[in-house]
Structure 1
């Protein structure tokens, strides 16, 4: 891959390229990568120090987060998951104790039911697992195009990391002034870059 990319049009091409690449990963390899990602995360110091974990309920091509959520519950951690508000591209996190507190919304996303859950303040989240399609070695990312995490991260002060296969990491991505990098990336080989964690 090239070392530099430019504008939003190129980001769309990058999304298309990596989605095609992820779709070709055999199931056995995907399961092996997911097991490694989960293992590296839940054995890390940043995980052990965190009481409140913010994480998406995975779907589609995203790496399976269910084992991570189950581990957090088993260890007595608080799990909160996002609910997106398409009208303003904002999102809030709600504490869940089981999957019965979720509903399926647009694009088959599973999100918390506000009436059955408790909203959590942004700064109460100790560790945020940030999804994305591509990352560079400085922690900048190309997401799924909704912009929800870009907005959420603007004043988020605690640890934020991402899970990505080696094929999702490149040297350099286009970064806008408002883009906020994650502090660390975990690949199947372990922590790629330590940043702030």
Structure 2
């Protein structure tokens, strides 16, 4: 099963890195436009998401829109040693620092940690997804460990090349509730 997951990740990553910067920006804008019309965006007071890195769907647009709409933005910080992930309320980019895996994460001393029950909608990153919501992450298992304690809406944002027919799922793997693509809602 691990080898099957590794092959899916490699195949999808190969396709993602071949998307031009211009196309990446255009598709990210389309995904954002679709997301902003959904009730799980409109009705959410607190949104959890990550600061994306190329070739992921650009979340900078989402973070700025959430702040503009007066929503609370929470971003994850991971602890590599304990493999734990916690979310912190962030008001601007000065509260971020580069940390584990070269991710931009909240600085704990300048932010407030928020509990899972305080989050309404979570944008869940991943490498590949199925129409049924199965998710293949990047391999760290951070979201698979966090999501069992989360009762809000989970949303995946993806480029069409990230949609696959099947993902081998293990007991600890967690699916997402909704999938948003440049062409509209998949789930």
1:32 aligned residue? 26
Supply the distance in 2 between the matched residues of 1:9 and 1:73 (Cα, whole angstroms): 40
Deviations 1:129-166 (A, max 9, x none): 00001001111111111110000011211100100011
Residue 100 (str. 1) matches residue 79 (str. 2): no
Supply the distance in 2 between the matched residues of 1:106 and 1:118 (Cα, whole angstroms): 19
Residue 155 (str. 1) matches residue 155 (str. 2): no
1:74 aligned residue? 68
Supply the distance in 2 between the matched residues of 1:128 and 1:106 (Cα, whole angstroms): 21
Task: Please point out which of 6, 10, 13 is paired with 1:16.
Answer: 10
2:44 aligned residue? 50
Moved runs in structure 1, 4+ residues, more than 3 A? none
Aligned-pair CA distance for 1:77: 0.3
Residue 186 (str. 1) matches residue 180 (str. 2): yes
- Is the CA contact 2:80–2:100 (under 8 Å) kept in the aligned structure 1? no
Aligned-pair CA distance for 1:107: 2.6
Superposed CA RMSD:
0.9
- Is the CA contact 2:116–2:150 (under 8 Å) kept in the aligned structure 1? yes
Supply the distance in 2 between the matched residues of 1:58 and 1:35 (Cα, whole angstroms): 14
Aligned-pair CA distance for 1:178: 2.1
